[in-house]
Structures are given as structure tokens and as C-alpha cells.
Structure 1
Amino acid sequence: MKTKKFLLPEKEIPTHWYNVVADMQNKPQRLIHPQTKEPLKPEDLYPLFAEELARQEFNETDRWIEIPEEVRDKYKIYRPSPLVRAYGLEKALDTPAHIYFKNESVSPVGSHKLNSALPQVYYNKIDGTTNLTTETGAGQWGTALAFAGKAFGLEIAVYMVKISYEQKPYRRSLMQTWGAQVIASPSMSTKSGRKVLTERPNYQGSLGTAISEAIELAMQTPNCKYALGSVLNHVSLHQTIIGLEAEKQMEMAEEYPDIIIGCFGGGSNFSGISFPFLRHVIKGEKSMRFIAAEPASCPKLTRGKFRYDFGDEAGFTPLIPMYTLGHNFSPANIHAGGLRYHGAGSIVSQLKKENLIEAVAIPQLETFEAGVLFARTEGIIPAPESTHAIAAAIREANRAKEEGKPKVILFNLSGHGLVDMSAYDQYLAGDLKNYEIPEGEIEKNLQEE
């Protein structure tokens, strides 16, 4: 009988995260202080982030960073996650490619986001923080932080992008079940939210706006810090547990990936699946392709510009060297809410700049077509974000068929879509459409910076 799932025992949960920056020949450019315009130092972030997280953000020398035992203990709830051979999908595509996926949907919150939420809450707890604020797009990150907050005893407030707040009520319910306060963004509870609503009363929100609101609340609340679910280096670091497990599991399968794929919003799950494998390419030991699959409606890697930009709309965050569409970019109201972000993290941006990774932009209808095919062949209904990775994997599997070359493809199934069924309802009813941004609109938005 052929093996479908490759499972690691709990004792194989990695003891360390992998810091790719230590192996990069050209390090990412430093973050810039928004007021002084000087390179940021770890202590500049202490008012907003836990001190250990700030140190991790700037760590360019330590290749391996130890995972605290308390965090590894919580990881046991759902880790190690399975590596799965997609035999059904391969058969449907009639491809010579071998397709594997890392199933991060098995976490209690249904996505990979818990990999960073748990350590972030833990480090804040040992600093004496009692409250955390954050933003969430589709709700995966907010859900993860709500669960982690309850696990370690911190109070959580989540600004949820308004369009997702309305489209995905059950993600809101999950957060509230785990004790978090959830506010639709933009809101009237912050100065930045009120400014947006005054200028655009019907605005459906963006991650940039939600970040501004969460940071503003954190800065004004005693004993409160802020947590971010993507983009920053320490988030990518925590997510490398995905690829580290996957590397061991690929050895169990007696294969090694030629192509590694992750959907792309700010970079957390793409970094998680790819960075541990990328270290072998950087060292000249292996040859692989790494593909970031982003929405055609929010194409920062494929059509954005590499420059310093704010991570939020109001300009509270440090200036980040990133591929960006401009921090004032208003994304289309697609269902892959977690990917509706204007910029890419500094590490991924540097890797893209050096052509160590690739990027593809995929239309919404193609992603849902891929998601339905995956559900019908593998039994798992994927999150709208994850369907971008599936669509890219299908493209590569079809290319392998056309070329008559067997390829080993690994993608990250970043989460399930069981609370995203309204999106599938609209797709199956024929009510969804593609969104393509005119080049002039991108240029205009970047000129307004």
C-alpha cells in the first residue's frame, strides 16, 4: 500500500527555528525609524513589541534560535503537522509530477498562524505584558492570537478588516469564543480609523488601516503591546518550523522537492515552507525553485516597486524595504482577505530582488477552480488564501506534463476553508469575478507616497 501521510512523532518537533538572514550573502536593508529616519535599533521597538521579539527582528548572525520549552509544549497540541502526497490531485491532472502538501490546516485555529502567535504571546507574557492588540485580514491571524492569548492568559483586541468582518462571521465568532474583543476596521475607536471613515465613509478596510488602529490602541493603553502576524522577520522565523518538519518528512518519502510553493500576502507561510529548504540553495548544495503565489488583484511582488514604505496606512510603523503597491493602496474586496496587503516582508523582498525566489499573480476565479478540484480529489476544502498555492502547483504540474518531465512539487496548505464557505457559495453560483489593477492606478498610488 502506498503511503499517503508522512507523520513525525512529537519528539521530532524542532527545538530551534531557522534564521535565514544568517546565511544570506546580502542582508535585507535595515528598517528606518519613521521620525528620525535613522536605522532602527532593537530598543526602538521595545515600546511596541516584546523585547525578545525585537532582538529576533534584528538578529543577523544566529542561524538557529531556540524554541522555548513552554512554546514547544503548546506546539504539541497540533504539531508535527502531516506531509501528504496528493495522489488524487495527481491522477486528476494526469501529471508525471509528484505533488506533496504540508497540511497546516490541522491546527486548532485551522491555519499556520498559530506557529507565531504562541511564541509572540509567550514572550509578551514573560515581559509582564497583560494586553495585546493586533489586526487581521481574513481572520486567521486574529483567531490564532485569540487562542494563544487564552493559552497564556493575556487579553487580546483584534481589529478585523471590515469586509472580512462582514464576509466571515464565523472567524469573528471563533475569536470571541477564545475571549478576544473584535472590532471592525476602520472603526470610530481610534484617531486613524475616524480619519479614514471621514474621508471614505463606505471604505471596506485594508490590513494597512487595521494595523494603524491596532498600533494606536497599543500605544495608548497601559501595559499593552502589539503583535503582527506577517511581514516582519521574527514572524517568518517562527514559521520556519513548517519547512523544518517538511524536510524530515520528505526524507521519509525518499524524495526531495524541485519546486516549493506558498501563497503570499505578507510572507509568513511562504517563508515558513521555503526558508529551511532555501538554505541549501544559498550554500550551493541544492537546486530548487521557490514560487510565491499572490492575488492578481494585489500584485506587490509581480507589479510593485522595491522601495522603503510604511507597513500601515497611517505611517505608524517603521519604514520597511519592500516590494510595495504603496501603503495607501486600496485592495479589491476579494475573498482571500489574508493576502490583501500592499507590501512584502524585507527578507522576501531581498530574495526576490536577487532572483532567489519567483512570484506569480493568479486571478481569483482560477484560485477557486483549483480549490474546488483540490477539495474533490483530496477531501480538504482549502482557505481562499491557500487556493493560490494550489493553483500555482497545478500550473507547475501541467507544465511537467507538457514537458514530459517528472517533478517533485511541495506546497504549503496554509489553512482550511470551513469558515469561508460563503466564498465558495458565491463561486459556485457564478457570482465571483476577477480583478485586475490598471498599471496607471499602481503608478498613481506610488507617486502619492
Structure 2
Amino acid sequence: MKVFQRTASGLAVDWRAMECWGAGISLFLQMGAFFPLLLTDADGALGDPAKAKLRLICLPVYAFAGLIVIRNSRQFLIAVRRNLLLPVILALPFLSVLWSVGPSTTLRRAVGLLFTVLLAYALAIRFTPRQLLLIVFATLGVCIVLSVAMLAVSPELARMPGDGAMRGVFINKNSLGWFACMMLLVATIVLLDGTLGLRRTAFVLLVAGGICLAGSGSMTAMIATGSVYCLIGFYTILQRTRGIGRVVIILVSLQFSVGILILLHEFLVPFLEALGKDATLTGRVPLWELVDRQIADHLLFGYGYQAFWTEANPSAWAIWSKILWQAPHAHNGFRDTMLSFGLCGMMLFVILLVRAVYQGAVLQCRDPSFGWLWLNVYTVMMLVMNLTESLFLIQNDAIFILFATGVIMFSLHAPAVSLNPYPHIYARTRGFTVELQVS
């Protein structure tokens, strides 16, 4: 697919090719692969100069997102109108500057979040779920294959300093584990979809993703991977059932999920202690206890967007001095959202999540051939990952970009699919037309 094509009048830009290449390159740059690894110091950490250089890498991504949105301003405005809650949540970081404990940090990171979500809008309005799946499949595949290749060529660089866990082309093992989990998800979906003609490639990437997941040793990624295959089964069964059977499946699944959470809350620590494992979940349990106290002190509005975990905040130092390590975040996306926006912001975010999960399930049931399965699984997988990691509302992060893209896509297409008796041909609602077949 060439971006520039020679015509009778000279060179012409193939905008569709540019969109596809631009989307893939933008996601690659936002995955934090390769470049951060080159800029780390001897201890495997990034200094302030290195972080400043990495922020420059984001500028082409911002330019691409802005260009696509400007060229498709009408579709962008429709996407905004169909989910007004997301712009409201995007406004919260800017409003939180008024009460933030670090106003300059909050403002700078709020701008980064705005452009990050702008890329999500660009992906949502220009690609179908199946097209986006192929872009993510190719981009992730490059990162995972390079990680395995680096392990073979340069084992010292491909492993974490100290514990020897595999990190591949990423800066740490957790990032590799998260993206390996995503690779297993998209490779499995491509493997199940025989119409794409990529089953051999999907199988190879499935094996490579499994190697990276096992090598990283990330428990969060392993638990998320287990949830991925449970969710694939759940949504497949949900789509094939009708009426009261669908209601029963939903209720049973909800009860099962709540039961697992209760069991984990009550018996996980004793179980780990009995096995001789780290019952603190690598320091997370005592961290969460301290974080909950700080949340209670600023319950309504929080401390400002991403302002809590800064060296200028005495409350953060109070936690760090007790746990004896400088935690970069709460290792829980829901708690970090509370730290940023308090109860008011958290309620808006929960409404956004519930709405997205509902709309995604409806789309999967009514038009499964359009490729909604992977986005549904990915959305719920993100909820699972944020139980032990902080991946919500993060600027310049491909994992959150794809999550936001799914939320926007659900709200954008849900009215069209519900009103059109032939959703597999075209969706036309309120002047917005999008071809649903893969072009």
C-alpha cells in the first residue's frame, strides 16, 4: 500500500494508505517500544533528559491525529455528540488545575491526554473494528517478533537488570507482559476469523506472544490473559443465545465475577502465605491501604489530574517513607482515578465504562460479523488489568488509546446498528455514513 502514487498529472497522495500507515506508526510510537530502551541509563531507568526526548517523539503522532480530525471534522463532531460524557471527562483534567497540588504538572499532562484521545477519535472515525484489528495485529506483531529476536541475539539487553525477567524491546517486563497479552488476544481473534486469510501468521504470533508472556513473568498480564479467553467464550455464547437464555448467561456471569472478587479479597493473602509467596502482591497491599487514606482526605475532587505522585506533594512522600520505595502510581487504575478527580470524577468515569460495556455487547449480539468481539474483550480486559495496574486516562499510551478508541466506536456505531435493519451493508444515522465492509 503506497502513500504516494504516480498519476498522469504527477505524484498524488493516497490518503487511505497514509491513514493506515500513520495509524500503525502512531500506535508503535505510543507503545513505548525500542526508543525508551535506547535512552535508559545503566540501571535501566529514564532520566529527565531522556523523558524530554521521548516527548518529542509524540509530536508526529499529535500532528497525524490533528490532520485526520481536521480532514474529517464532520465525522469527528458526530462522534463527539454521540458520547458527550467523554469530552466532559477530558475537561476534568483542565478543571482540576484549579485545585491541583501541582498545577503545572496537571496542565501539561492534561494537554498530553487531550492529544492522546484525539488519536483515539481519529482511529474510531476512519477505521472499522476489523480494519483496526489488522493494524493492531501488524503493529503488535512487529514488537513481539523483535522482542523474541532480541532475546536470541542480545539476551543481556532483552532481560531486566537484576532479576533476569524478559523485557524484549520494552523498558520493563510489565510492558512486555501487557503487550504480549494483547498479542494473544488479537492473534486468537484473527486465528478464529478464517475470512482474513492470516491463520498461519496468527499462529506464529500466538506462539511468540506466549513466549513473551511467560518470559516477562508479569502476573497482571497472565491473569488478564486468562480473562481474555473466558471473555471470548462469554461473548461468543452471548451472541448465539436469545431471549431469556441471554439474560440467564449475563446474570450467572455477573454472579460468578462477583464471587471471584469476594474470594480473592478474603482468601488470596492467606493462600499466598500458605504457598510461601509474597502476600503483599509485590508491595501493593500496604500501598493500597495508605492510598485509601489519602483518597478519603480529598474525597470529592481529588488532588488534581496526575498530581498526587509528584515529588512536590507531601502526601506522596508520606506514603513513600512508609513503604520504603517510590511508587510511581497506585498500581490500581480505579484508585488513581480517585486520586486525580475524587468521587465526582470517578462516578462519571464509571458511567462511561458501564455504557461502553453495554453498547459493545449490543453491537456484538446484533452485528457480530463486523468484528466487535475483540474490542469487547479488550474493554473488559482493561478493567481486569486496572485492578493491579494504572492504565486509565494515561497520556501517550497505546493501551489506553485503544481502550478510548473502543469506547468511541461503541457509541458511534450503536445508534446506526440499532436503527438499520441491514447493519452489514451501511450505517446511516443523523447524516453520518460509514461503510462497514473492509475496503
Normalization by structure 2: what TM-score?
Answer: 0.30
Higher fraction of helix: 2
Choose 1 or 2 for highest CA Rg.
Answer: 2
Higher fraction of strand: 1
Normalization by structure 1: what TM-score?
Answer: 0.30
